[in-house]
């Protein structure tokens, strides 16, 4: 009979239709979790593709890449091998991958650039010509837009190339002309500075970002690149050679006869044939991606999937709470089904089938949302000028679709196991009331209390041990103990929440008890059903704890990183003039640059410290040093008669902080007191007064400067280069501040991503609060009707539910913040102790935002249920079965 087929499925679908509204929030939670997993997998694929495309861009659209297949990397292609390969039948063009670094100068401005050969074939270079022509003869170049802007030049202009040339070794070898040479010996060859005038014939673009990391590439003739490389003292040979074929390859494999021909041509010039690797461009790029990333893409995937797992864990808790309340609401229905013959197995399968259907539908929606969000991000990304080429569309792989779907279904079904077992325990004549929560008076309650207490106390003990090991410079073992302790203690707190959280809520409720009958009823509701109160608050507690922990850890890490960066990059700008005669003009030019707070001259000499000779020391006026250093507390250690040494330098010189060391210079000797500094650039710093005693002829040789507050490091560095270049063409400008800014940006981005990822868990937790509170209101329809019948107004009913939701959310947020700060501090002490003194920071702004969001979430969560309860007339509600 059709009516008797698949009774469990028909029962399940009927129950889902009746509970569609109640299941929606649970479905949204699991959809967010699976969307997170989908985005993670797609982002990992995009990172792989982007890295591969950036590496492949170097190979342009070449058919083949010839590389060196030698574990020791000794074999290389020379010009003879390249020529032999180019002469093969079927080879259209060959171009070795070569590079030369040189300093381009024009009108006092400089740009240190990489030079590459102009393309011998359109498929062998990633560069494209946008203006002018490619260089056709020696002394011609085509430049990227960055050089055009930096030097203010264009097609037809002339620029100067500054490079180092090593004289012919024959001139300084046996019988050479080097002064002081001894017959039979070769002297060290010193480079000679040389300049070349180069004509700009064209402007290029790099549409695939092959040279993004080097700020663009200058194209020169292959002969010039080879000649400059040789004159610099390097061998002219190549690790990789690009090949364009007359007939492009149609497959992904290199034909064996072609591979043998290429290897044979290289071998004919003396190169071992078995060291010639012949690959397609795509295969070479994929191999090089793995080689250069070192598997970091996998690390990224594991890192982000960890946060996806956290989101799914919170979503699982929401699912569990949802089904627990649904099963409790269906107690009467389940009891009736048992009376008419339904078995416990059918009820169990019905709940699990409902979970599986919900998980499948929600996960499909999550996969779709994740894919759409990722594609939208790709479309929006170009407007942010990220500096790297991104794919235009996502690639929906089977893994990116099937894995989130399976994970979503699995999490939903696992979350429903406990409620499903509860459904099978409903007796045929059970009353319409939810199961009681465990209490300390029952055996199960006492067992739960003992186990959760042991887990909580033992976990916090391990957490403390991890922090102690971190301070003892054993962060590896300390992290293991800390992570284990944090996990165990948190499990103990969450599992025991049903026993203590309602009592905490009631204690907090005393603060609002006197505000009226609505508030007193709200507080009473939190105590009447402890399981419901704990379930509602725990989801938010988990999310808030995680976010607070990471915010606290991030704040500590950021402050510790700032301290470390300030010590490592104590100076913002360093200028070394090309000539001692221009030091005053250079200092004056630097002082006039807008965006600098202070600058000072640095003198130097070579002295003997202790028994170590020829050590350079720098000298500065002690009153000027704090103004040009990012660590003024370290600069304050410098006084007359003192020398600043890093801990490593002091150890190597066998002196301690506060000890004395003898300094001997060309003109005198001093006993200096050692002051150990944590700032690397302050190593071997003395006062100008002391330097005058040691070396009366010492003169300033550099200028140190510090950025003004809020000044952009890159802009100021460029302005300093322009100002000093106008005074001294040979002045070298170093900008540690720009590097420090990059480090800070990386730290901020990483920490922002971490906190942002965990914010997803809070969103899901808020959904859980809304869902559980809504279901609890539906569960209390008769109770609300009774209150209305005995005189409670609609407004009072709404206020009661608002107070209840806000109180439960506030307690969950408050406990979560306390736990999160504690875990964040312990993690900071454990992981950051090697960076120096750990700063235990409380991110008050972040905590205020979390509390505000939690309270608003609890209030908003009560709005819709309260309106529904207030709209229902007492007579109709009392008639509900």
Q: What is the 3-state secondary structure (H, E, C) of 528-588?
A: HCHHHHHHHHHHHHHHHHHHHHHHHHHHHHHHHHHHHHHHHCCCCEEEECCCHHHHHHHHH
Q: At residue 678, what are phi and psi to the nearest 5 degrees?
A: -90, -5
Q: Give the pairing of strands 91-96 and 596-609.
A: unpaired
Whether the CB-CB separation of 769 and 802 falls below 8 Å is answered with no
pLDDT grade, residue 167 (50/70/90)?
low
Residue 679 sits in the same domain as residue 767: no
- The proportion of the chain whose per-residue pLDDT surpasses 70, expressed as a percent, equals 74
Distance CA 505, CA 836 (A): 41
Whether the CB-CB separation of 775 and 322 falls below 8 Å is answered with yes
- Which residue has tokens 């819709």? 864
DSSP one-letter code for 77: B
Residue 730 sits in the same domain as residue 860: no
Distance CA 473, CA 805 (A): 46
- Return the structure tokens found at 728: 């001294």
pLDDT the model gives residue 181: 36
pLDDT grade, residue 556 (50/70/90)?
confident
Query: What's the longest Cα–Cα distance across the chain?
Result: 118
Asked if pLDDT for residue 350 goes beyond 50, the answer is: yes
Tens of pLDDT, residue by residue over 364-376, are 998 998 888 888 8
Distance CA 596, CA 716 (A): 8
Write the secondary structure of 333-375 as one string of H (helix), E (strand) and C (coil): HHHHHHHCCCCHHHHHHHHHHHHHHHHHHHHHHHHHHHHHHHH
Helix 736-779 to helix 713-727 angle (10° resolution) is 170
Whether the CB-CB separation of 18 and 360 falls below 8 Å is answered with no
Number of domains, the chain: 3
pLDDT the model gives residue 742: 58
Reduce the DSSP state of residue 270 to 3 states and report it.
Answer: coil
* Any domain includes 226: yes
pLDDT grade, residue 823 (50/70/90)?
confident
Distance CA 32, CA 26 (A): 10
What mean pLDDT is predicted for residues 104-132? 86
Distance CA 864, CA 866 (A): 5
Reduce the DSSP state of residue 389 to 3 states and report it.
Answer: coil
What mean pLDDT is predicted for residues 420-430? 69
Which distant-in-sequence residues (6+ apart) come within 8 Å of 413 by Cβ? 352, 355, 356, 359
CA dihedral 66, 69, 74, 75 (to 10 degrees): -40
Q: At residue 730, what are phi and psi to the nearest 5 degrees?
A: -95, 5
What mean pLDDT is predicted for residues 803-815? 83
pLDDT the model gives residue 170: 37
| Cα 581 from chain centroid (whole Å) | 47
pLDDT the model gives residue 6: 55
DSSP one-letter code for 242: E
Residue 830 sits in the same domain as residue 684: no
* Any domain includes 47: no
Residue 744 sits in the same domain as residue 639: no
Which distant-in-sequence residues (6+ apart) come within 8 Å of 158 by Cβ? 197, 198, 199, 200
pLDDT grade, residue 859 (50/70/90)?
confident
* Any domain includes 618: yes
Whether the CB-CB separation of 54 and 388 falls below 8 Å is answered with yes
- Last residue of one domain, picked from the residues 715, 734, 753: 734
Distance CA 125, CA 735 (A): 32
Distance CA 437, CA 417 (A): 18
Q: At residue 695, what are phi and psi to the nearest 5 degrees?
A: -145, 100
Residue 873 sits in the same domain as residue 760: yes
pLDDT the model gives residue 233: 72
* Any domain includes 679: yes
Phi-psi region of 752 (alpha: psi -120 to 50; beta: other; left: phi over 0): alpha
Whether the CB-CB separation of 624 and 600 falls below 8 Å is answered with yes
What mean pLDDT is predicted for residues 604-629? 89
- Last residue of one domain, picked from the residues 709, 734, 759: 734
What mean pLDDT is predicted for residues 818-833? 81
Distances (CA, A) of 678 to 217, 284, 598, 649, 657: 39, 45, 22, 11, 12
Residue 122 sits in the same domain as residue 230: yes
Q: Which of 31-45, 90-104, 578-592 has the lowest mean pLDDT?
A: 31-45
Which distant-in-sequence residues (6+ apart) come within 8 Å of 265 by Cβ? 81, 84, 85, 87, 88
For residue 222, the enclosing domain spans 99-177+188-235
* Any domain includes 758: yes
- Which residue has tokens 């003879």? 80
Whether the CB-CB separation of 809 and 533 falls below 8 Å is answered with no
Distances (CA, A) of 316 to 358, 410, 763: 12, 10, 14
Task: Give pTM, 2 decimals.
Answer: 0.57
Q: Can you name the residues that pair with 277 across neighbouring β-strands? A: 67
Higher pLDDT, 400 or 623: 623
Burial class (CB in 10 A: 0-12, 13-18, 19+), 441: exposed
Residue 701 sits in the same domain as residue 796: no
Asked if pLDDT for residue 400 goes beyond 50, the answer is: yes
- Return the structure tokens found at 627: 């103004």
Our CA angle for 187, 190, 194, nearest 5°, is: 150
- Return the structure tokens found at 440: 């300390």
H-state helical runs in 79-120? 79-86
Distance CA 210, CA 663 (A): 52
- The proportion of the chain whose per-residue pLDDT surpasses 90, expressed as a percent, equals 14
Nearest-CA neighbor of 843 among 554, 574, 491, 515?
554
Residue 526 sits in the same domain as residue 596: no
What mean pLDDT is predicted for residues 539-554? 77
* Any domain includes 705: yes
DSSP one-letter code for 513: G
Residue 506 sits in the same domain as residue 565: yes
Tens of pLDDT, residue by residue over 768-797, are 666 666 666 666 666 777 777 777 777 887
* Any domain includes 444: no
Residue 535 sits in the same domain as residue 667: no
Tens of pLDDT, residue by residue over 665-713, are 999 999 999 999 888 788 899 999 999 999 998 888 888 888 888 888 7
DSSP one-letter code for 190: P
CA dihedral 613, 614, 615, 621 (to 10 degrees): 110
* Any domain includes 531: yes
The sheet with strand 64-68 has its strands ordered as 91-96, 241-245, 64-68, 276-280
pLDDT grade, residue 438 (50/70/90)?
very low
H-state helical runs in 381-515? 398-424, 443-471, 475-495, 497-509
Residue 225 sits in the same domain as residue 141: yes
Distance CA 878, CA 785 (A): 6
- Last residue of one domain, picked from the residues 734, 757, 780: 734
Distances (CA, A) of 534 to 23, 109, 152, 437: 20, 68, 68, 10
What mean pLDDT is predicted for residues 167-194? 46
Residue 531 sits in the same domain as residue 673: no
Q: Give the pairing of strands 140-143 and 192-205.
A: parallel
């Amino acid at each position: 009979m059709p009516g008797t087929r698949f009774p469990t499925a028909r029962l399940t679908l009927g129950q889902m239709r009746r509970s569609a509204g109640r299941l929606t929030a649970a479905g949204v939670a699991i959809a967010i979790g699976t969307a997170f997993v989908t985005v993670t997998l797609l982002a990992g694929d995009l990172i792989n593709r982007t890295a591969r495309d950036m590496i492949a861009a170097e190979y342009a659209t070449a058919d083949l890449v010839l590389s060196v297949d030698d574990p020791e990397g000794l074999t290389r292609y020379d010009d003879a091998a390249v020529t032999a390969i180019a002469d093969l039948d079927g080879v259209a063009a060959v171009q070795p991958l070569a590079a030369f670094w040189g300093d381009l100068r024009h009108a006092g401005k400089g740009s240190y650039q990489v030079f590459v050969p102009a393309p011998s074939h359109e498929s062998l270079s990633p560069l494209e010509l946008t203006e002018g022509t490619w260089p056709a003869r020696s002394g011609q170049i085509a430049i990227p837009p960055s050089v055009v802007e930096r030097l203010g030049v264009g097609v037809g202009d002339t620029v100067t190339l500054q490079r180092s040339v090593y004289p012919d070794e024959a001139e300084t070898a046996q019988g050479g002309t080097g002064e002081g040479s001894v017959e039979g010996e070769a002297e060290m060859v010193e480079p000679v500075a040389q300049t070349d005038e180069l004509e700009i014939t064209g402007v290029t673009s790099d549409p695939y970002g092959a040279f993004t990391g080097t700020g663009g590439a200058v194209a020169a003739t292959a002969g010039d690149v080879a000649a400059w490389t040789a004159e610099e003292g390097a061998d002219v040979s190549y690790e990789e050679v690009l090949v364009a074929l007359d007939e492009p390859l149609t497959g992904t494999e290199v034909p064996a006869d072609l591979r043998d021909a290429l290897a044979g041509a290289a071998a004919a010039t003396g190169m071992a044939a078995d060291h010639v690797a012949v690959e397609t461009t795509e295969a070479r790029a994929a191999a090089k991606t793995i080689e250069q990333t070192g598997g970091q893409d996998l690390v990224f995937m594991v890192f982000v999937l960890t946060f996806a797992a956290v989101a799914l864990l919170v979503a699982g808790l929401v699912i569990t709470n949802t089904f627990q309340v649904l099963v409790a609401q269906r107690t009467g229905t389940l009891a009736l089904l048992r009376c008419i013959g339904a078995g416990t197995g059918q009820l169990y399968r019905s709940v699990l089938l409902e979970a599986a259907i919900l998980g499948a539908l929600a996960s499909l929606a999550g996969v779709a949302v994740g894919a759409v969000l990722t594609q939208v991000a790709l479309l929006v990304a170009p407007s942010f000028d990220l500096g790297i080429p991104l794919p235009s569309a996502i690639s929906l792989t089977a893994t990116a679709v099937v894995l989130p779907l399976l994970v979503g279904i699995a999490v939903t079904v696992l979350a429903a196991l406990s409620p499903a077992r509860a459904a099978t325990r409903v007796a045929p004549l059970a009353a319409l009331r939810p199961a009681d929560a465990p209490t300390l008076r029952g055996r199960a309650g006492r067992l739960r209390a003992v186990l959760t207490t042991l887990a909580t106390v033992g976990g916090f003990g391990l957490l403390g041990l991890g922090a102690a090991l971190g301070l003892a410079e054993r962060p590896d073992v300390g992290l293991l103990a800390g992570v284990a302790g944090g996990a165990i203690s948190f499990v103990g707190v969450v599992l025991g929440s049903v026993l203590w959280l309602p009592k905490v809520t009631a204690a907090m409720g005393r603060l609002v008890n006197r505000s009226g009958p609505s508030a007193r009823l709200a507080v009473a509701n939190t105590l009447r059903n402890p399981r419901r109160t704990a379930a509602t608050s725990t989801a938010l507690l988990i999310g808030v704890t995680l976010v607070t922990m990471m915010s606290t850890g991030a704040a500590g890490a950021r402050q510790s990183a700032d301290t470390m960066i300030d010590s490592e990059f104590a100076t913002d700008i360093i200028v070394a003039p090309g000539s001692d005669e221009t030091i005053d003009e250079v200092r004056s030019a630097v002082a006039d640059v807008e965006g600098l707070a202070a600058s000072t001259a640095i003198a130097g000499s070579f002295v003997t410290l202790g028994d170590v000779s020829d050590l350079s020391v720098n000298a500065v006026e002690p009153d000027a040093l704090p103004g040009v250093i990012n660590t003024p507390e370290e600069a304050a250690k410098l006084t007359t008669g003192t020398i600043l040494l890093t801990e490593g330098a002091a150890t190597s010189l066998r002196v301690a902080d506060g000890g004395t060391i003898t300094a001997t210079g060309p003109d005198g000797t001093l006993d200096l007191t050692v002051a150990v500094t944590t700032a690397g650039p302050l190593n071997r710093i003395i006062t100008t007064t002391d330097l005058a005693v040691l070396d009366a002829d010492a003169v300033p040789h550099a200028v140190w400067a510090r950025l003004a507050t809020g000044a952009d490091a890159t802009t100021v560095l460029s302005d300093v280069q322009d100002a000093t270049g106008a005074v001294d063409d040979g002045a070298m400008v170093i900008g540690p501040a720009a590097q420090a800014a990059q480090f800070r940006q990386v730290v901020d981005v990483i920490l922002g991503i971490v906190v942002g990822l965990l914010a997803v868990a809070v969103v899901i937790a808020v959904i859980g609060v809304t869902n559980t509170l809504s279901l609890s209101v539906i569960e209390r329809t008769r109770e609300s009707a009774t209150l209305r019948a005995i005189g409670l107004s609609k407004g009072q009913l709404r206020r009661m539910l608002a107070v209840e939701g806000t109180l439960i959310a506030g307690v969950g947020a408050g406990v979560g913040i306390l736990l999160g700060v504690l875990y964040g501090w312990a993690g900071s002490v454990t992981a950051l102790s090697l960076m120096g003194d750990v700063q235990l920071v409380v991110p008050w702004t972040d905590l205020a935002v979390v509390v505000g969001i939690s309270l608003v979430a609890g209030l908003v969560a009560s709005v819709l249920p309260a309106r529904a309860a207030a709209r229902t007339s007492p007579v109709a509600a009392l008639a509900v079965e």
